[in-house]
């Protein structure tokens, strides 16, 4: 299943380069001159107070927003004219701050949608479930079952998503993102609104995904305990600017970060 040789965790070269990104909506500057990089195989956290521009940053990487200034380099190539679908085709998957699943569909079907980009059969073939589609469907189902097993959601395989508790829905969303076998996984507050036990489970799954599949992960999270525990490096944004970047220990003791979180007289 893994796309990497089974050698455990190894941080490689730069996978994603964010260079001097600025983004504004009318008069509001969401991001100004943000630069950082994400290395192959690492867990990279983006933190910052509310309105710091974290989700905007993720949306830029994901291709939802086009920045007015700056470049994004993915696997060494500068991207132009990006949109979410092309980003997905390149191997970027994401989960959302507010769960964005199909509530009326089963867990299994939701995760199958994550395989959509990999399906080659035509609409007609899919409609009559013949030939190429049948073969494909079986392959994709096998892959999806591996993910179901990995995230331990066998017992809800056939349950409509809308009937599940919040913590499990978050896990299903992660499963759908994984179904596309991403190179880069963007997680927007994967642990928001969870209880302690659910958070522990989610942490475990994020680490497992990173270790087992070698997936590079960029995550936004507010729970500092979690962030400091699981991320390799952390970027801190405040008012759209990068104010710190480094290993958890460095960030923890950084005065600018402390000020941003606790507030100082400007």
Q: Tell me which residues touch other proteins (CB under 8 A).
A: 6, 8, 141-142, 145-146, 148-150, 152, 154-155, 157-158, 208, 211-212
* Cβ nearer to other proteins, comparing 212 with 250: 212
Q: At what angle do helices 196-213 and 132-150 cross, to 10 degrees?
A: 120
* Cβ nearer to other proteins, comparing 189 with 201: 201
Minimum distance from CB of 248 to other proteins (Å)?
Answer: 20
* Cβ nearer to other proteins, comparing 105 with 258: 105
Question: What residue ranges in 52-101 does DSSP mark as E strands?
Answer: 69-74, 77-78, 92-95
Task: Answer yes or no: are the C-beta atoms of 94 and 170 closer than 8 Å.
Answer: no
Minimum distance from CB of 213 to other proteins (Å)?
Answer: 11
Minimum distance from CB of 177 to other proteins (Å)?
Answer: 19
Minimum distance from CB of 144 to other proteins (Å)?
Answer: 8
Report the side by side order of strands in the sheet with 77-78.
28-39, 14-25, 69-74, 77-78
Q: At what angle do helices 196-213 and 166-179 cross, to 10 degrees?
A: 10
* Cβ nearer to other proteins, comparing 79 with 157: 157
* Cβ nearer to other proteins, comparing 6 with 27: 6
* Cβ nearer to other proteins, comparing 28 with 142: 142
Minimum distance from CB of 219 to other proteins (Å)?
Answer: 20
Task: Answer yes or no: are the C-beta atoms of 63 and 94 closer than 8 Å.
Answer: no
Task: Answer yes or no: are the C-beta atoms of 34 and 18 closer than 8 Å.
Answer: yes
Minimum distance from CB of 11 to other proteins (Å)?
Answer: 15
**What is residue 234's DSSP assignment?**
E
Instruction: Return the structure tokens found at 97.
Output: 């701050």
**How does 209-245 read in b/e, with b if 16+ C-beta sit within 10 Å?**
bbbebbbbbbbbbebeebbbebbbbbbbbbebbbbbb
């Amino acid at each position: 299943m893994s796309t990497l040789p089974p050698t455990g965790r190894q941080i490689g070269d730069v996978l994603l380069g964010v260079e001097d990104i600025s983004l504004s909506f009318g008069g509001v500057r969401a991001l100004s001159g943000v630069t950082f990089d994400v290395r192959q195989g690492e867990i990279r956290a983006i933190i910052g107070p509310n309105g710091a521009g974290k989700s905007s940053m993720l949306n830029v990487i994901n291709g939802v927003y086009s920045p007015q200034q700056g470049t994004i380099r993915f696997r060494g190539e500068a991207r132009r004219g990006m949109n979410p679908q092309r980003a997905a085709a390149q191997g970027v998957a994401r989960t959302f701050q507010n769960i964005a699943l199909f509530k009326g569909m089963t867990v299994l079907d939701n995760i199958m949608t994550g395989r959509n980009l990999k399906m080659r059969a035509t609409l007609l073939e899919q409609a009559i479930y013949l030939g190429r589609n049948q073969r494909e469907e079986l392959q994709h189902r096998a892959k999806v079952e591996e993910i179901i097993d990995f995230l331990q959601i066998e017992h809800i395989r056939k349950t409509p998503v809308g009937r599940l508790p919040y913590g499990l829905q978050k896990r299903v969303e992660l499963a759908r993102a994984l179904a596309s076998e991403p190179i880069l996984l963007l997680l927007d507050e994967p642990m928001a609104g969870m209880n302690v036990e659910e958070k522990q489970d989610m942490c475990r799954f994020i680490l497992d995904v990173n270790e087992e599949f070698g997936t590079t992960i960029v995550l936004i999270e507010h729970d500092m305990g979690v962030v400091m525990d699981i991320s390799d490096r952390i970027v801190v944004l405040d008012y759209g600017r990068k104010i710190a970047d480094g290993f958890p220990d460095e960030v923890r003791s950084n005065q600018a970060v402390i000020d941003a979180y606790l507030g100082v007289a400007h």
